[in-house]
Amino acid sequence: MPDPKTILIDKLIRKEAVIGIVGLGYVGLPLMLRYNSIGFRVLGIDIDQEKVDRLNSGKSYIEHIPSARIAQAARSGFVATTDFSRVADADAVILCVPTPLNKYREPDLSFVTDTTDALKPYLREGQVVSLESTTYPGTTEEELLPRVQENGLVVGENLFLVYSPEREDPGNPDFETRTIPKVVGGQTPACRDVGVALYEQAIDHVVPVSSTKAAEMTKLLENIHRAVNIGLVNEMKIVADRMGIDIFEVVDAAATKPFGFTPYYPGPGLGGHCIPIDPFYLTWKAREYGLHTRFIELSGEVNRAMPEYVVGKLMDGLNRHGKALSRSKVLVLGIAYKKNVDDMRESPAVKIMELIQAKGAELAYCDPHVPVFPRMREHHFDLASVDLNAESLAGYDAVVLATDHDRFDFAQIKQHARLIVDSRGTYREPADHIIKA
């Protein structure tokens, strides 16, 4: 009789396996659509009843994912639920839940552990469990492994445990779930084989690594690479500004070197779920080994200071116009963490808004992708996006360009705004009323 590994791999290859995705956000929803589009039956599980209801009625809540795609998935067998007992119906269980930092900038694994605790009573022989949430090396082995084996299942024999870090880039038209290579590490060699079989059905290129720890470290290295280089160029921005040099001109010129240089551009800070958070997962874990990751932590300090730098530039500009920030009307342009998306996770624009409000200014924002300020775990503004036109622009003492959405009319903004604080390098030509920040 075939063993559980062989049976499961065969079901995955034949597309007879049921794919269960836990957490239906920016990572889980695109993954659901991909498996659904190639003929798998997909079950979605989320604790948010409102999300579940929207999906089951064929509606999307993520801007770059059209409702038509959700409706098509629902017609072809996709079902969302808040009932964790339905995990028993799935052959593959993929966890796509948040891994934020707590107020001490330490890993908060409560979403991962609580989710695993909720599903473990319903795990059964012949399933594969894959964690995609970004975390520190050792999480799968230390937190998931003992939990999924509590009821007598044996990982590597009749239950298979893998780690495969998500690599979604919301709103990037050059990549989609299928075309982004997928790293997969297994708790055992058998687990890795099952993990490869799970993902190679949906992803063009699967990259097996030797362990879950190696896969976890891979994700951290990718994002620490970006965080450190962005920290470097943000620090260079401050130095260049003090010397009267345009850092964007310098980066553009350096980028003409065909080898040994990768251009990174400064901004108002780091945003998104990964880059502002992931480095601190490694710094926290490294302390267990008696190591102090000074380089990583320094870049984090630089990047976290950028919103204050932007607000400092705003105050300088207003002072030159004889205005105090506390008596000014300020418009923040773009509050999503990057251009052309509605994703608010860790957006530096929110910190900028908080700093401006704390100084007593009258605050407003405009973002065509975020019509109403959303519910967030740590931040809230009772604001809605204002209309942008010549008259409204002229009514503010200053506008802060925090996120450079393509839908903004930058020529109109330049013409009618009294003062522009540009944190994105959108305006390359100098002007008296434009301050680069």
User: Where in the sequence numbering do the catalytic residues fall?
Assistant: 274
Q: How many residues does the chain have?
A: 437
Number of alpha carbons in the 13 Å side-chain half-sphere of residue 323: 20
Strands (DSSP E) contained in 287-357 are: 329-333
How far is residue 9 from each of residues 88, 249, 375, measured CA to CA in Å?
18, 53, 41
Nearest to 279 by CA among 270, 288, 289: 270
Q: What are phi and psi of 384, to 5 degrees?
A: -125, 155
Q: Is 315 exposed, middle or buried (0-12, 13-18, 19+ CB in 10 A)?
A: buried
**DSSP one-letter string for 93-126:** EEE-----B-TTS-B--HHHHHHHHHHGGG--TT
Cα–Cα distance for residue pair 128/298, rounded to 1 Å: 39
Distance CA 268, CA 385 (A): 20
Buried b (16+ CB within 10 A) or exposed e, 201-210: bbbeebebbe
